[in-house]
Amino acid sequence: MYKEYLTRAREILSDMTLSEKVGQLNQITITPYTGKTDELKELIRSGGVGSIILASSATAGNDPQGHVNVELYRDLQRIAVEQSRTGIPMIYGRDVIHGHRTVYPIPLASAASFNEGLVERCYRNIAVEALADSIRWTFSPMLDLCRDPRWGRIAEGPGEDPLLGSRMATACVKGFQGDDLKADGSIVACAKHYLGYGASEGGRDYARTEISDVTLYNYILPAFRAAVDAGVGTVMSSFNDINGTPVTGGRKYLTDILRGKLGFEGFVVSDWGAVCQLEHAGFAENREDCAKKALHAGLDLDMCDKCYIENLPDLVKKGEVTEQEIDTAVTRVLCVKLAMGLFENPYGKCANYDKNVHLSNAKLLSDESMVLLKNNGVLPLKKDTKILLSGPFAEERRTLLGTWTLDGSAEETPNLREALSQKAAGVFRYTEELKDAEDCDVIVLAVGEDYRKTGENHSVSDISLDGAQVELVKKAHATGKRVVGVFFCGRQMALGNAAGFFDAILYAWHCGSKTACSVADILFGDVVPSGRTPVTFPQKPTHIPLYYNVTSSGRPANGYYGELSQGTYDDGDYAPLYPFGYGLSYTVFEYGKAECADGEVSLEELKSGKKVTFSVEVTNKGDYDGKETVQLYISDTVASVIRPIRELKDYKKVFIKKGETKKVEFHLGFGDLGFYSENGDYLVEKGKFNIYIGKDCLTDNSAVLYVI
C-alpha cells in the first residue's frame, strides 16, 4: 500500500538537504511557541517541521487541552506548502482516541460490544469529524493487551484477549482509514503502544515489563499483526523495555519483528519524549546517543523532544549515523504523506456531516457495550415502577465521556438523572441521602469511578468500590427495597465487597455522549442488554492478575476453572466474580450440543486450506428478541509448550427472535489451531483439541477434534 509511492518519495528526497530531511523526522507541539508565532513560522518555513501534534502535554487524556484552531493550522500549513523550499506539507495529529465532537464508548467498553462491524462504523464517524477540523492523523487504536486493571490505561485498550483485540484493531483501522486514505472521511491511524506497554509491572504506568517470547508472540503481538494486515499507516513505539532493551531503541522489535515478520510498511513514531528517555533509562549516554540508537532501531519520527533535529546532522558528520539511514526514515514518512493525498490536498476539507447520525451510532454502540452482570428478577423495570435515584454519579456528565476526551462537550452530555426523569417523570425522584426510601419500589444507585482515575499516569492500587460508596450501597440494601447498581467505570472493578448488596448490576462503563440514555433504555427494557465482559472481574483486588487464558500447571492450581487447588490462597477461593465473555440478557438463550462435522483432520489437509466446521443450535426461549454472543474456545491438550487452558478462537453475535432457533457455525483452519514458538515461528501440532462453544469461557459444552 505504501511501497507503491516509493518512486515518487525518492524523487522528492533527491532534492532535499540533510537539514530538510531531518526536519521531516521532527514532530513538535505548538505550545512552546505560544507568543512566539514568528519563530514557529520560521521553523516551518526552513523545513524544520514534519508533523505537529495538536496537544499541549504528554498526558493530554486528562489534562485540559486547547481548542482546535482550524484557521491557525491552515495558515501554518500554507507556510509549509507555499513558503518552504521543498513544499512538503505537514501532518497534523491529535489524540482522537474514541471520539471527537461526538464521543463513543471508551475502547475497553467498545470491546464489550463484541460487535466489530458497529465499531468500524463509529470510528468512521470519528474520522469524518476529525478531518473537518484539519486533523489528518489519530494516535489510535491503542492495542495493549492488559491483565492488570490497576493500570489506568486499560480503559484505552481492548482487554485481555488476543482475538478480541485483533478484531477491534482491524475495525478501528478500517474505520479510520477506509479502503483509500485519499478518500473523503479517511485519516491515518496509529497502532500503539508497540510493544508490551500493557504489561507494566504492578499496573504502575511507565514501569518495567517482564515478557517472555512466547507471551510476546501469542498474546501481545496478535492485535498489532491485525492492524498491520489492515494497512495501518503508522505505529507508535512504547516506553517500556523487553529483555532489558527499551522498545524505542530496540531494532529487534521495531525492525526485525515489526517490518520483518509482520510486514509493516508505514512509519514508526515515538511516544511523547520517548527518544530522550533512553538516557534516563540508562540505555543511552546522552541525547546524541539517544538519537543514534533510536534511528538505528528503526524509529522514524521523533515526537516532541527534538533529539533528532538537534543531533542527527552532527552524527552524520561524525560518521556515527549514515545519511542513508536518515533517507530510509524520511522515505517512509513521505510514502505515508503521499498515500494520504497530503500533497494534493494539504488543508483537508471542512466536511459537512450529520451530528444526529453520529449520535445515533454512538447510542447503538453504547447500548451494546453495557454488560448486565447481575439480575435477580428486578430488571427490566416496569413503566410505573417508583424509582429513587441516588449515588455520586447520578448528576455526573464529564465522567460519562471517559478519559482521552479532548473535544467532546460535557455540557451537551445528558446525566442519568435527566435521562431517567424523561423515561419515568411521574414515578421518579432523586435524592443524595436516600431520604424517604420507603415510598419507592426500587433504588437505583449511580456508582463507580471518576474518569480522572483512569488514563495515562492514573493508575490505582485498589480497584474495589471505595468505602463511602460501599456504605451507601449497604444503607440502600438495609431499606429492604430492591437495589439496582449502575456502575460508571473505566476498568473492571473488584466487586466482591459490594455485589451481594445489589439485586441487579448494570456495568455501564464510560460510554460517551449517550451513556445515560443507554442506561435508561436498558433499565426499562427498551433495549435488551447484550454486552459481554472483555476482561475478567476479580472478587478482590488482591487476586490480580486474573485472566481466563491462563496456562495449565503441573498441579491443580487453576481456581479460575474450579480446580480444587493446592496452590490457591488459604484465605479464600480466587475464582472470578464474573469470567471473560460473561453477560446476561432479559431473554433466555438455550444452547444445544456442540457438534463437529468431522472429528478428525490431517495436518496436511489443514496446511492445504481445509477447515473443520463446528456448530451449535441456539434457541431464544424468553420473552424478548435479543442478541447473543456465541463464543468458541479451544484447548490444545498436549503441545511442545504449555498452552492456555482455553483460548477464544471465534465468536458470532447473532440476533434471535423470541421462540426462534438459529444454527451458528464456525470454521476452524490452520491459522486457528496453532501457536507461535519463542522464535516467532507459527506451528500447528498433531493431537487432541477440545472445542468449547457457549456463553462465556466457562462453558462445558464441548466437542473433540483430532489433528492427525
3-state secondary structure of 99: strand
CA distance 508 to 487: 5
> What cell does 574 get?
480466587
DSSP code for 535 = S
Query: Which residue type sits at 515?
Result: T
Phi, psi of 704 (to 5 degrees): -125, 140
| Phi, psi for residue 230 in degrees, rounded to 5 | -80, 0
The model's pLDDT over 69-90, given as tens digits with 9 standing for 90+, comes to 999 999 999 999 999 999 999 9
Shortest CA distance to 428 belongs to which of 443, 413, 438, 414? 443
| Per-state percent for the chain, helix, strand, coil, to nearest 5 | 35, 20, 45
Which residue intervals of the chain bear CATH 2.60.40.10? 587-707
Low-confidence ranges of the chain (pLDDT < 70): 350, 426, 564-567
> How far apart are the C-alpha atoms of 243 and 640, rounded to whole Å?
23
Catalytic residue status for 271: yes
Q: Which residue has the cell 514534519?
A: 50
148, 271, 300, 672: which one is catalytic? Answer: 271
The amino acid sitting at 298 is: G
Closest CA to 249 of 240, 258, 257: 240
Give the pLDDT confidence score for residue 433 in this predicted structure: 81
Using DSSP, state whether 112 is helix, strand or coil.
helix
Q: Please say whether the dihedral angle defined by the alpha carbons of residues 315, 320, 323 and 325, taken in this order, is positive or negative.
A: negative
Count Cα atoms within 13 angstroms, Cβ side, for 631: 26
Right CATH number for 587-707 from 1.10.10.10, 3.40.50.1820, 2.60.40.10, 3.40.50.300? 2.60.40.10
d(CA 486, CA 511): 12
3-state secondary structure of 46: coil
CB 431 within 8 A of CB 472: no
Q: What is the reported pLDDT for 566?
A: 62
Nearest in space to 483 (alpha carbons), one of 491, 496, 494, 474: 474
Whole-angstrom CA distances from 387 to 313, 437, 580, 585 are: 69, 9, 32, 21
Name the pairing type of β-strands 600-601 and 612-620. Answer: unpaired
Strand residue runs (E) in 569-610: 589-591, 595-596, 600-601
Contact 110, 119 (CB under 8 A): yes
CA dist., res. 52 & res. 195, Å (int)? 24
Q: From CA 528, how far away is CA 511, in angstroms rounded? A: 16
Where in the chain is CATH 3.40.50.1700? 362-543
Task: Spell out the residues 6+ positions from residue 425 whose beta carbon is closer than 8 angstroms to its own.
Answer: none
Separation CA 691–CA 708 (nearest Å): 16
User: Which three cell numbers mark 623?
Assistant: 420473552
DSSP strand pairing (91-94 vs 137-138):
parallel
CATH, domain range 362-543: 3.40.50.1700
- Give per-residue pLDDT as tens, 325-354: 999 999 999 999 999 999 999 987 767 899
Cell 478519559, residue located? 403
Which is nearest to 283 in space by CA: 238, 247, 325, 319? 247
Q: How many CB atoms lie within 10 A of CB 562?
A: 11
Helix axes 307-318, 287-297, angle to 10 degrees: 80
Q: φ and ψ at 685, to 5 degrees?
A: -110, 155
Say which residues have a Cβ less than 8 Å from residue 707's Cβ, sequence separation at least 6: 601, 602, 603, 606, 673, 684, 685, 686, 687, 689
Write out the three cell numbers for 352.
459537512
